Structure 1
Amino acid sequence: MKAVTLNFTTSSKLKLEDVPVRPLENGEVLVAIKAAALNHRDEWCRQGLYPNINEGVILGSDGSGIVEEVAEGIDLGWIGKEVIINPAINWGEDQKVQSKDFQILGMPRNGTLAEKVIVSVDRLHLKPKHLSFEEAGALPLAGLTAFRALFYQGQLKSNEKVLITGFGGGVAQFAFQFAKAAGAKVYASSSSEEKRNVAKELGAISVYDYTKEDWVENALKESEGFDLIIDSAAGDALNNLINVVKPGGKIVFYGATRGNPSTLIARKVFWNQIKIIGTTMGSDQDFEEMVSFIKDHEIKPIIDHVFTFEQAEEAFDRMKAGKQLGKIVLTP
């Protein structure tokens, strides 16, 4: 089968090559991939910045497709089913936090940027009927991360004011749509005028350019503070978020693309009883609830661009440059 593998001998650190399909083991199924999608972790793997790098691995965590084969003892009714794949592996029994054996599909084990992928049958969920394969393939990792950040960690309620930072990225666009569907008053920030305009079109009450010095002042004036902020950047910008969250409010962050903050206005955190919460991916319970939420509200992922596997380098470079608005999808 054709697959996009991590290969540090090539200039792009990627290689489209023929990879054999191994026999199925107990509890496994073979899914013919119809669409896969990129996440930032794929690019970090390409740059060698992700832990437990395994050269030669097939990248990709997100995928949708059709079940082609099942191991002995698995219900044959799965064959021919249109499915999406939960990429969170070995979360464990504790809803509060993942187990020490937690992994994400696509590193260190083979992922979805291939014509076929082998996964445990318990990772399968029926594809929501209102989604195309491309839309469904864009859903799993980012949708799960956004759902847990908003509803489990953030405890979002209807009519609360929520700020989604970095609008345009995969998780951020899901968080925006989920919050809107839940009846929240949604605001967004982005350094891109194009992305801010799209957020307005999708119903943002206000949008902010976080590169402008007066954005904090403007946000406070317009919102009177946010009940919940969903962020992926951290860094020194975290202090700006502390300044715009309401007393008693929550800041939930699922990434640190700007690194650690050099300073932290700790006095404001404790005096205003602000909760700063970390989150990543989500449990099997979160995934099931996310899929149900998607179905109930007929939410469709924003697709930035669809590439073929042969165009993998172009797709990865687009993500690296931060040009995408929504999810970058690849098809075999």
Structure 2
Amino acid sequence: MKAILHTGRGGPERLRFTDTENKRPGPQEIKIRLKNAGLNHRDLFVMQDRPVPDLPWIPGSDGAGTIEEIGERVTGFTIGKEVVIHPTLGWNRTADLPRVPDILGGPTDGTFAEFVIVPVENVFPKPAFLSWEEAGVLPLSALTAYRALFSQGKLQPGEHLMITGIGGGVATYALMMAKAVGASVTVTSRHQEKLRKAIKLGADHGLDNAANWATESNRDKTDLILDSVGGAVFPRFFPLLNPGGKIVSLGASTEAQIELSLRELFFSQFSLIGTSMGSREEFIEMLHFIETYRIRPVVDSVYALPDTAKAFDRLTSGEQFGNVSISIAP
């Protein structure tokens, strides 16, 4: 089969489009003919930190397609069925928190290929109202946003949410999900065009990263901050929060180290919460949520499978708004 392989130490420059082995599914696995896949910053992190860099590996955690072959012990699925892939492996019950979630596409082979083989419990019907491009970029980012907002952040209707660094896939999903349940949403960015697009997508307010958020945000204080930027903006959070407010951290595109005032933390009873990916239970909840509210992923751009390295150039440019998609099959 045709696939994108990564070999050696390095980033997207180590990717090549080539032929590789076309495997068959095990007894409790399903083989999927992929239509579309999605890029995530996680793919870049895995490329740079592979334990066995000389072993050829297929990246990619997001994908949607049709069932090509079914393992001998699999029931309830049919050849040709349109499906999406839950990317978190082995984390079924939300309460059974893994130390570090295992994700499709690192270290296992992923979705930047004509076919992928996944456990039967990771295969779900594709939401019928989504296009292949939308379905292919849905799983990882939408799951991460759903868990961050509702399982960890406990967002309620009428609350005020701040999302830092609007523009990436998780941030755009979080914006749409929060508005769907009746929250007020403020977004931040250093790009005026991204702020404009976020307002058009439903955000109530947009703040430039260079602005003094404490003085410019002369409105109700924030109940929940969803942050993927990290150390560059974290010191600005406490003055923005209501007593009992929460900060949910899901990444660090800048410094991973922070300084904070413990007195402010305990006097105002703030909560600092980490989150990563999501369970099978939460994936089911997320699919129900996006079907109930008819939330459509924001697709920034689409690249053909042989042009995956160019797609990563778009991702790392910081200019994208929404998800970058890979078209695999017509």
Q: TM-score interval w.r.t. the shorter chain?
A: over 0.9
Q: Following the alignment from structure 1 to structure 2, what is the Cα–Cα distance between the partners of residues 179 and 215?
A: 21
Q: Following the alignment from structure 2 to structure 1, what is the Cα–Cα distance between the partners of residues 90 and 52?
A: 16
The code of the aligned residue for 2:115 comes to K
Deviation at residue 259 of structure 1 after TM alignment:
2.4
Identify the residue that residue 128 of structure 1 maps to in structure 2.
127
Contact 2:9 2:53 in 1 (8 A): no
Q: Following the alignment from structure 2 to structure 1, what is the Cα–Cα distance between the partners of residues 226 and 52?
A: 28
- Residues 249-260 of structure 1: pairs in structure 2 closer than 5 A: 249-260=245-256
Identify the residue that residue 243 of structure 1 maps to in structure 2.
239
Q: Following the alignment from structure 1 to structure 2, what is the Cα–Cα distance between the partners of residues 242 and 50?
A: 36
2:317 to 321, 326, 329: 321
Q: Is 1:110 the equivalent of 2:109?
A: yes
Contact 2:61 2:110 in 1 (8 A): yes
| Residues 153-194 of structure 1 deviation map (CA, whole Å, 9 limit, x = unaligned) | 011110100011111101000000000101111111111111
Q: Is 1:90 the equivalent of 2:101?
A: no
Contact 1:309 1:331 in 2 (8 A): yes
Deviation at residue 81 of structure 1 after TM alignment:
0.6
Tell me: CA distance 1:285–1:296, structure 2 relative to 1, closer, same or farther (3 Å).
same
- Residues 1-332 of structure 1: pairs in structure 2 closer than 5 A: 1-8=1-8, 12-46=13-47, 48-49=48-49, 55-75=55-75, 77-93=77-93, 95=95, 97-98=97-98, 102-212=101-211, 214-219=212-217, 221-222=218-219, 224-332=220-328
* Secondary structure, counterpart of 1:311 in structure 2: helix
Contact 2:187 2:195 in 1 (8 A): yes
* Secondary structure, counterpart of 1:4 in structure 2: strand
The code of the aligned residue for 1:79 comes to I
Q: Following the alignment from structure 2 to structure 1, what is the Cα–Cα distance between the partners of residues 298 and 223?
A: 25
Deviation at residue 78 of structure 1 after TM alignment:
2.4
Q: Following the alignment from structure 1 to structure 2, what is the Cα–Cα distance between the partners of residues 299 and 271?
A: 38
Deviation at residue 26 of structure 1 after TM alignment:
1.6
Q: Following the alignment from structure 1 to structure 2, what is the Cα–Cα distance between the partners of residues 154 and 51?
A: 33
Q: Following the alignment from structure 1 to structure 2, what is the Cα–Cα distance between the partners of residues 158 and 52?
A: 46
User: Bigger CA drift: 127-136 or 72-81?
Assistant: 72-81
Contact 1:200 1:207 in 2 (8 A): yes
Deviation at residue 247 of structure 1 after TM alignment:
1.1
Contact 2:94 2:281 in 1 (8 A): no
The size of the alignment, in residue pairs, is 327
Q: Following the alignment from structure 2 to structure 1, what is the Cα–Cα distance between the partners of residues 53 and 125?
A: 31
Deviation at residue 290 of structure 1 after TM alignment:
0.2
The code of the aligned residue for 2:286 comes to M
Q: Following the alignment from structure 2 to structure 1, what is the Cα–Cα distance between the partners of residues 118 and 169?
A: 23
Contact 1:236 1:261 in 2 (8 A): no
Q: Which runs of 5+ in 1 are unaligned?
A: none
Q: Following the alignment from structure 2 to structure 1, what is the Cα–Cα distance between the partners of residues 259 and 157?
A: 33
User: Bigger CA drift: 237-246 or 79-88?
Assistant: 237-246
Deviation at residue 267 of structure 1 after TM alignment:
1.5
Q: Following the alignment from structure 1 to structure 2, what is the Cα–Cα distance between the partners of residues 280 and 191?
A: 25
Q: Following the alignment from structure 2 to structure 1, what is the Cα–Cα distance between the partners of residues 51 and 192?
A: 34
Contact 1:135 1:301 in 2 (8 A): yes
The code of the aligned residue for 2:215 comes to E
Tell me: CA distance 1:107–1:138, structure 2 relative to 1, closer, same or farther (3 Å).
same
Deviation at residue 147 of structure 1 after TM alignment:
0.1
User: Bigger CA drift: 74-83 or 193-202?
Assistant: 74-83
The code of the aligned residue for 1:72 comes to E
* Secondary structure, counterpart of 2:237 in structure 1: helix
Q: Following the alignment from structure 2 to structure 1, what is the Cα–Cα distance between the partners of residues 92 and 315?
A: 31
Contact 1:61 1:141 in 2 (8 A): yes
The code of the aligned residue for 1:144 comes to L
Deviation at residue 55 of structure 1 after TM alignment:
3.9
